[in-house]
Structure 1
Amino acid sequence: MAEKKAYPLRISAAVLEAMQRWSEDELRSLNAQIEYVLRDALRKAGRLKPGKPSPVEDDGD
């Protein structure tokens, strides 16, 4: 598994609440949902190197 790094994130309360609801709908943790959304945006923008999918993408954690 790839190394994970902690990063403090400042985010508006409204965005955080929306992400929390979305993560619950998708049966993921909030952290996993944020990473999923970021990876999806990076992939669509062509900025993520192709490779093996992360565990977040595989099991819906």
Structure 2
Amino acid sequence: MFWTRVETDYNNKPSFITELRNKRSLQCRMQTILTAIGKMRGCIRHIESLKPSGASEADIKRYAEGNT
């Protein structure tokens, strides 16, 4: 039922969509996004575990993104 509502809401918002998507397509896209978020969280946790001296949250995020 949840994904049916997501599909309906998504496809009824023409101001930001470029193509209509079905439930399966939206589920797959969400899984891709969640995978990327998980990887980023893992990188940030790794950098935080190193406890870099004087590093701000912005510094840790930059290190995690690979922009040292």
Q: TM-score range by the shorter chain?
A: 0.3 to 0.5
Structure-1-length-normalised TM-score: 0.39
Greater fraction of residues in helix? 2
Say which one has the larger Rg.
2
Structure-2-length-normalised TM-score: 0.36
Q: Higher relative contact order at CA 8 Å, sep ≥6: structure 1 or structure 2? A: 1
